[in-house]
Amino acid sequence: MAKIVMKFGGTSVADIARIRNVAKLVKREVDRGHQVAVVVSAMAGETNKLVAWTNDAAKAGAGEGRALVDQREYDVVVAAGEQVTCGLLAITLNAMGIKARSWLGWQVPINTNATHGSARIEGVPADEMRKAIEGGEVAVVAG
């Protein structure tokens, strides 16, 4: 039994039909007896939409000029796209009879420095997630 990490970008999870296809690929590996973690991006086009919204929101007090976006809040908004995909894939896997759970960065946890917008990972003490994977659960992680 191998531990496998599978990564799927935005076009691979662009809609529910594609998320179901990804779930089938994950199920195939689980059925082979592998322990699986899946890393997913936001659905195609979602990140661009969220970035545009942050820019529009920042202009609210700046009139016609270009306002700077608070990087901490930018990170919150843009991360939402990946979080949606995580939840949708975990729901799909569970509906297919595969025990799965979505994991957000703070739940793993993924520890970073405080440089919002371009943080660097300082450590990943993923003990709880590791236990879940070793117990047969698929971990679906934003990334």
Given the structure tokens 């990087």, which residue do they identify? 71
Q: What are the C-alpha distances in Å from 141 to residues 10, 54, 55, 90, 109?
A: 14, 24, 27, 10, 11
pTM value surpassing 0.75: yes
Residue type, 94: N
pLDDT at res. 70? 87
Q: Is the distance from CB of 85 to CB of 142 less than 8 angstroms?
A: yes
Mean pLDDT of 6-21: 97
pLDDT at res. 114? 84
Q: What are the C-alpha distances in Å from 33 to residues 30, 58, 69?
A: 5, 49, 46
Nearest CA among 6, 45, 2 for reference residue 22? 6
| Beta-carbon contacts of residue 27 (< 8 Å; ≥ 6 apart) | 93, 96, 98
- How do residues 93-137 score in pLDDT, each as one tens digit? 999 999 999 998 888 888 889 888 788 888 888 899 999 999 999
pLDDT at res. 73? 92
pLDDT at res. 118? 83
- How do residues 34-78 score in pLDDT, each as one tens digit? 999 999 999 999 999 999 999 888 887 656 666 778 888 998 999
